[in-house]
Amino acid sequence: YHRKRSNNCQIMHEILPNTETYLCGTDTPTIADIMLYTLVTGLCDVKDPFCDGILIDKVMPIENCPNLHRIVTNIGDLDAVIAWYESH
C-alpha cells in the first residue's frame, strides 16, 4: 500500500502543530524535538544519509511540509546545535 506524495505532507500537516516553535516543547526543545531534527536531517542528507538507500527529500521535499520544515529549521538555528556542528 503506497500513498501519493501529496498525502505524505497532508499527514505531516495533521500530525505536527502548525503554530508551535517545536514539536513538543513550547519555549525550549525537548528530547523528542532533537530526535525529530536528527531523523529528518539525517534522512535528507545527500552526502551522508542516516539510512543508506533512503533519501526522504527525493520522496517528500521537506520544503513542501511547512510545519515540519519550520520545526526542523527552528531546532537547527539553536545556538547549541550550531555550536555542535562547528565543533564536529
Give phi and psi for 21, each to the nearest 5. Answer: -75, -35
What's the CA gap between 23 and 25, in Å, rounded? 6
Quote the cell numbers at residue 87: 565543533
Q: Does 52 score more than 70 pLDDT?
A: no
Model confidence pLDDT, tens digit, residues 27-51: 888 898 899 898 888 877 777 767 6
Interatomic CA distance for residues 72 and 76, integer angstroms: 6
Does residue 70 surpass a pLDDT of 60? yes
Q: Please tell me the pTM assigned to this model.
A: 0.70
